[in-house]
Amino acid sequence: MQNNVPLSTDSHTDSVLVLGATGKTGRRVVRELRATGVPVRAASRSGDVRFDWTDPATWPGALEGASAVYLVAPDEGYAAVPEFTARAVRAGVGRFVVLSGRGIEHVGPDFGQGMVTAEEAVRGSGAEWAVLRANNFNQNFDEDLWWRPLRDGRLALPIGDVEEPFVDADDVAAVAAVLLTRTGHTDGVHEVSGPRGLTFGDAVATMARAAGREIRYVELTPEEYHAELLADGYPEAVARALGTMFALHREGHTAAPADGVRRVLGREPVDFTAYAERAAAAGAWS
């Protein structure tokens, strides 16, 4: 089902609401849209457009004038997503683009339930929708998650030789920007990845060469990984979530490259070596 409020790139009287606008993909989506002249409402808990999933009083102001929404569901408090989606449609939103993860249909309750809830909410919203199911981001290595271990010279994970076609966050944002502003029918799932798979060991070796220093990859058992996360101060729930994510990868559900970037943008996605060289030149792992 679709409603009759599509966002047209021929008239910029409507705006795009970008949730998580200071986040890894959100800030890049804002940049992509503004570069093409699309009005953007960049929303976050501390931004000019205030939005808080736990405070529904912030929702109407964020939605004012928006005809499309880039939706990144929270890890906690995701039960609010269906109500927000319904309110957004009543406020005039005609299109959603949701960030999700490849293989999300195979996970259990310990990981990704915000993404699952968001997918279900937009599918049943009556608006146009597109879901971006992405592989692990290149930027997980230089912006968060694995940045500090790499800086310290040792990344230890429970993944083995299963390959991952890491995707660049810039590519994800570029795809999202196109889908947020494309006229006509957009409903569907778009799987986005990098152009080729690498093992995590190969990825670490690539980053070490680019940085010109020694960085080791160490293979852990799932039990060892869980214990290391707890010893590093991660909460039990986060440790379980990361363990569940790697169990998904070990099963091979995300190992094959996807063609979403090529189909939407008409070009090849950013290669991991190019990403590593760029990040290293910026001092990511020095």
| Per-residue tens of pLDDT for the chain, all 286 residues | 333 333 333 333 489 999 999 999 999 999 999 999 999 999 999 878 999 999 999 999 999 999 999 999 998 889 999 999 999 999 999 999 999 999 998 887 888 999 999 999 999 999 999 999 999 999 999 999 999 999 999 999 999 999 999 999 999 999 999 999 987 666 799 999 999 999 999 999 999 999 999 999 999 999 999 999 999 999 999 999 999 999 999 999 999 999 999 999 999 999 999 999 999 999 999 9
CA distance 285 to 276: 10
Please state, in angstroms and rounded to a whole number, the distance separating the CA atoms of residues 160 and 205.
15
Q: So what's the pLDDT on residue 270?
A: 98
Sign of CA dihedral 234, 237, 243, 246: negative
pLDDT, residue 185, reads 64
Q: Whole-angstrom Cα distance, residue 3 to residue 94?
A: 6
Rounded distance, CA 149 to CA 66, Å? 40
